[in-house]
């Protein structure tokens, strides 16, 4: 095994083998701070290592890293806000009108249609297993903890209410929960969000499509993974989601190939759960500002490689949508 490289050795490697101009104590400190492996190695390509970015200056590498970091900062609070808001809406509507507000009662009362659909039944059983597994883990972890949210109920011989379950669900679990609800409940929730369009969403699964789609972006933002080139993308866009977003916004060619498409979807949700367009407009302005900053600090070739030609057109259309 080779000996680990020193910072000076890595700088020589960047100059001699990667043809990137880097020198001086300031850029040396930048390389230390951003990291050679998380920084340069992670940002030297778009989507895959065969699509290299033609860097010639280390300052351009830093500009792309900062661009990515600033986009994550801009998206983080909005994604957390969306997740919390939708959890509350789904939770409240799921227990509305029931005698008991526990997961088991909701499961029995509102996840019982289409019993001959074996695929759906399998999803429901998998959801129930996942919920009780998380409750069990949380119960164990709360031993000796002052904040005994799950133990508070089980130690009194009671089931945890649904709001407690929702506190420990991941975004993918939330998508699965919604998907497992009966058709009436899914339509009610979609109607409350003003997202139900029977001509597009005949199966009432648009919300779960959106949540599954945003899950990988949300996790990458939360765990400081790279997002600027959508390498986090783990699924093709669902036809229902594509049709709904394009009809909703008037913006065509939503493919999830570029980050702008994810921002458009986030803005569609923000417009509903925030009951205004303020957060969404602030996100769009932050994205535009970061694009301009990137353009000022990298070559035109690199900028064109990162920002697709249709981004400005989509941004204009998104701003018009948010003004309506």
The pLDDT tens digits of the residues spanning 150-172 come to 999 999 999 999 999 999 999 99
Higher pLDDT, 299 or 36: 299
Residue 2's pLDDT is 66
**Mean pLDDT score, 115-121:** 93
Q: pLDDT tens-digit profile of 246-300? A: 999 999 999 999 999 999 999 999 999 987 789 999 999 999 999 999 999 999 9
d(CA 176, CA 124): 8
**Residue 53 CB neighbours (<10 A):** 18
Residue 4's pLDDT is 74
Q: pLDDT tens-digit profile of 199-243? A: 999 999 999 999 999 999 999 999 999 999 999 999 999 999 999
d(CA 231, CA 150): 37
Q: What is the dihedral of CA 134, 75, 312, 52, to 10 degrees?
A: -70
Its pTM stands at: 0.93
**Mean pLDDT score, 76-100:** 96
**Domain locations along the chain:** 7-60, 62-323
Confidence band of 78 (pLDDT split at 50, 70, 90): very high
User: What rounded mean pLDDT belongs to the chain?
Assistant: 94
Higher pLDDT, 5 or 96: 96
Residue 144's pLDDT is 82
Q: Is the dihedral of CA 288, 294, 295, 297 positive or negative?
A: positive
The packing angle between helices 24-34 and 7-16, to 10°, is: 100
d(CA 145, CA 131): 21
Residue 1: pLDDT over 60: no
Torsion-angle region of residue 96: left (phi > 0), alpha (psi -120 to 50) or beta? beta
**Mean pLDDT score, 106-133:** 95
Residue 164's pLDDT is 94
| Among the listed residues 161, 245, 150, 135, the one whose alpha carbon sits nearest the alpha carbon of residue 197 | 245
Residue 3: pLDDT over 80: no
Containing H/E element for 321?
A: helix 311-323
d(CA 207, CA 190): 7
| Among the listed residues 195, 233, 191, the one whose alpha carbon sits nearest the alpha carbon of residue 48 | 233
Confidence band of 139 (pLDDT split at 50, 70, 90): very high
The packing angle between helices 311-323 and 278-297, to 10°, is: 160
d(CA 273, CA 6): 50
């Amino acid at each position: 095994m080779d000996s680990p490289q020193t910072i000076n050795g890595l700088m020589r490697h960047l100059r001699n083998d990667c043809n990137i101009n880097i020198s001086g104590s300031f850029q040396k400190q930048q390389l230390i701070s951003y990291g050679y492996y998380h920084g340069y190695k992670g940002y030297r390509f778009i989507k895959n290592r065969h699509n290299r970015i033609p860097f010639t200056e280390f300052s351009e590498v830093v500009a792309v890293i900062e661009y990515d970091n600033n986009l994550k900062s801009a998206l983080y609070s909005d994604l957390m806000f969306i997740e919390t808001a939708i959890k509350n809406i789904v939770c409240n509507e799921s227990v509305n009108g029931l005698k008991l507000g526990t997961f088991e009662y909701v499961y029995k009362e509102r996840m019982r249609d289409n019993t001959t659909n074996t695929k759906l039944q399998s999803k429901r059983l998998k959801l129930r297993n996942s919920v009780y597994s998380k409750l069990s883990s949380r119960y164990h972890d709360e031993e000796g903890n002052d904040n005994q949210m799950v133990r508070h109920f089980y130690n009194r011989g009671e089931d945890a209410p649904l709001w407690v379950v929702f506190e420990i669900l991941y975004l993918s679990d939330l998508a699965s929960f919604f998907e497992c609800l009966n058709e009436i409940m899914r339509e009610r929730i979609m109607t409350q969000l003003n997202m139900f369009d029977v001509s597009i969403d005949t199966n009432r699964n648009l919300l779960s499509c959106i949540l599954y789609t945003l899950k990988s972006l949300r996790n990458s933002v939360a765990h400081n993974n790279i997002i600027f080139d959508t390498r986090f993308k783990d699924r093709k866009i669902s036809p229902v989601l594509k049709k709904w977003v394009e009809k909703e916004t008037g913006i065509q060619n939503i493919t999830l190939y570029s980050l702008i498409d994810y921002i458009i979807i986030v803005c569609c949700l923000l417009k509903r759960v925030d009951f205004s367009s303020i957060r969404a407009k602030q996100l769009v302005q932050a994205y535009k500002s970061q694009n301009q900053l990137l353009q000022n600090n990298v070559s035109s070739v690199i900028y064109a490689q990162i920002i697709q030609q249709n981004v400005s057109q989509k941004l204009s259309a998104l701003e018009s949508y948010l003004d309506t």
